[in-house]
Each structure stands twice: as C-alpha cells, then as structure tokens.
Amino acid sequence: MRTHPATPTEVDSWLTALRRRGHLHRVDSGPEGIWTVQRTRHSRPWTLHHPVLAMDWIEDLVRDVRRQHSEASR
C-alpha cells in the first residue's frame, strides 16, 4: 500500500524503465502530468491524465508482464 501520492517524476521513471525493457512501444509526456502510452505498435494509445491513474495503469501492466513471464517459464 502506498504511503504517499504518486508524483510525475515517479511515473516518468517507471514508464522509462518499462520502455527500455521493451514492455512499451511508445511513451509521450505531455504538460501537467499527462502521458500517452502505447503497449505495441498496433495497439490503441492510452492517455493517462494524473499520476495516480498512471501508477494504477503501470501496476496493471507490471502484473500482466509478470503473469506472462511466469507462464512462459512453465
């Protein structure tokens, strides 16, 4: 459980790491804590309008990546 609110810097760090590891196709940072993300080249872009919402989306993505990784290792 989080003890402090998410910050734009934290979101930028997570999105950069996920992009570098190949889990995101595209990440665009906009003004005032708005991000546009795209998982694959052919997937629909998502717009994340607030750091808390962005961290929720990132959490879902990380869970999905972990689930795919564990299924692939079986």
Residue with tokens 């872009």: 45
Q: Give backbone dihedrals phi and psi of 30, rounded to 5 degrees, phi first.
A: -110, -170
pTM of the model: 0.87
User: What pLDDT does residue 31 have?
Assistant: 85
Work out the percent of the chain whose per-residue pLDDT is above 90.
77
- Distance, CA of 17 to CA of 21 (rounded, Å): 6
Residue with tokens 């459980």: 1
Tell me the pLDDT tens digit for each residue of 1-17: 567 889 999 999 999 99
